[in-house]
Amino acid sequence: MHSKRGRARLDASFAMVVAGFSLLCCVSLACFFPHSMMFDGASAPLYRSFNSGFGLASFVGALAYGVAVFRFPKLFFAGALAGYAMLGAGCALLMAVVGDAWVAVTAGALCGGGLACAYVYWLGLLTFMHRRRAMTAQGGQALVGGLAFSLLSLLPLEVARIAIVAGAAVSCVCACVAWWRMRASGKASIAGLQEKGGVFSARTGADGEQVGYQGREELVRIFQSIALPALCSVVVSFLYGALTPVAASMMGFPRTVPVVIWGGPVGAAAYLIWTRIGAGQRGSLVLQVVFGVLAVLLLLAPFEVTLAGFSAGNQVCALLFYSLIIGELARHRRVALVFLSIGYALVHLAFLGGLFVPWRFGVFSYETFSQSAPFIMFVAYAIGGVLLFVAHRDKLRKMRCLEGELNRQRKEKEGLARVVAKATNDELDLVCESLACAAGLTKRETEVLAMLARGRDVAFVCNELCLARNTVKGYTKRIYAKLDIHSKQELIDLVEQERAKGLESCADSDGLCLR
């Protein structure tokens, strides 16, 4: 009974997160395509002003939120509420824009900063879930949010505005309820990185001194695992931003939406399929497939299909990047939030930078794009470079795995050799003690015998036992006399013979026991 109730609570929390995150995704798409909130006939410079403020504020807001939560974990929920307040103010100001570029920049800054805080907050909530559930929730919110905005774009402008504002308000309510449910279940602790036992906690030795930092190798491994998806996500976002102005000039900005709006849901659906059938595999293969498809679309497909493909690829790379961070750093939520904030900031800054690339190459319309060999070559070389980098990183990963396996085998062999050497030394000590007992050697003579049996010379025995050279020679002569030998080689042979006899007697006794 209790397990069914617990499962029902988990399902309810999962549904709450997906619903709130999906509504926020829909609102973010509305800000990404601001024609759904601006007045009809808004000019292209007005759109560029809004996008500039939106991109820069997304970069700054995400970084500020991540750093603030890392330093003060209690700001995790409060920062999200502040983000929703900024988002509401930005949407209201955007709907009131009538042609002032600075008002558009301010509205973009409020929407960008608010969305950054709210979006990273929802990503942070996913770190409280099991990895498979978190991946499903992340892909589900992107799919549902994209589909909701595609339907929203078909509505009249006034109805769409009301729906967007209502969606932001309901998303804020879902964020509050989700946080309240986690607090009630005792899981609402974003600290995840304590002074004792965290990723950066100092490790102390036996004498109490700090000898290093625990988990440094783990952090390096985590950074290496997320560096490639981060690069691919930034590159695809940059190229997607570079193609967006061309599409806007080709069809007009509002008419661009039906072409690219379905790219996001398609990418989210592809990501969800991957989570079901191949989530255990590394994401490098997925990235190679994405960039290979984008290269083929750029060379062979119509421009509209190419743009939709870049939209889907951008969605897949971003979801894969965020899921890797959540999966690798779920136990250290403060560090995960920092990485998520940096990733969100870099992706949006890359898209903003891509918006200005066509102007740098003199591409002001679709006709100039189709005739601009430098711009097309720039995009093609960017894709090819990332493909080569992905293949190189995959090769390096395999080489590191092979090197690690060889090092492990070498350490095992060295450990085995040390064990064998220790066993041999113990056997020699036992043989020497047996001979000394039979021949009536003194304790000091027994010590000298053990060293001579190992092939040590007189000088070594003198230094090891702190004896004079003549004293050691005297001990050696008495040992030879008592054992009835005349040289060191005869002594070594005698010890080896006694050792061999001991091994044979042990083998015989083992055989008797077996019989």
3-class DSSP state for residue 205?
coil
**pLDDT score, position 341:** 93
Q: Is 311 left (phi over 0), alpha (psi -120 to 50) or beta?
A: alpha
Residue 63 pLDDT exceeds 90: yes
3-class DSSP state for residue 280?
coil
Is residue 101 within 8 Å of residue 45, measured between CB atoms? yes
pLDDT (tens digit per residue) in 166-204: 999 999 999 999 888 877 766 555 554 333 333 333 334
**pLDDT score, position 189:** 57
How many other C-beta atoms are found inside a 10 Å radius of the C-beta of residue 282?
13
DSSP 439-473: HT--HHHHHHHHHHHTT--HHHHHHHHT--HHHHH
Quickly count helices (H) and strands (E) in the chain. 19, 2
The torsion of the CA quartet 22, 25, 29, 31, rounded to 10 degrees, works out to 130
**pLDDT score, position 110:** 93
Residue 215 pLDDT exceeds 60: no
Q: What is the mean pLDDT of residues 115-128?
A: 91
User: Which residue ranges make up each domain of the chain?
Assistant: 12-187+219-406, 440-514
Query: How far apart, in Å, do the first and last CA atoms of the chain sit?
Result: 59
**pLDDT score, position 278:** 64
Assign domain 12-187+219-406 to a CATH class: mainly alpha
Task: Name the helix (H) or strand (E) containing 261.
Answer: none
**pLDDT score, position 506:** 46
The more confident residue out of 381 and 404 is 404
Most confident of 187-191, 380-384, 489-493, 505-509: 489-493
CATH number of 440-514: 1.10.10.10
**pLDDT score, position 363:** 66
Is residue 45 within 8 Å of residue 99, measured between CB atoms? no
**pLDDT score, position 128:** 84
The more confident residue out of 502 and 232 is 232
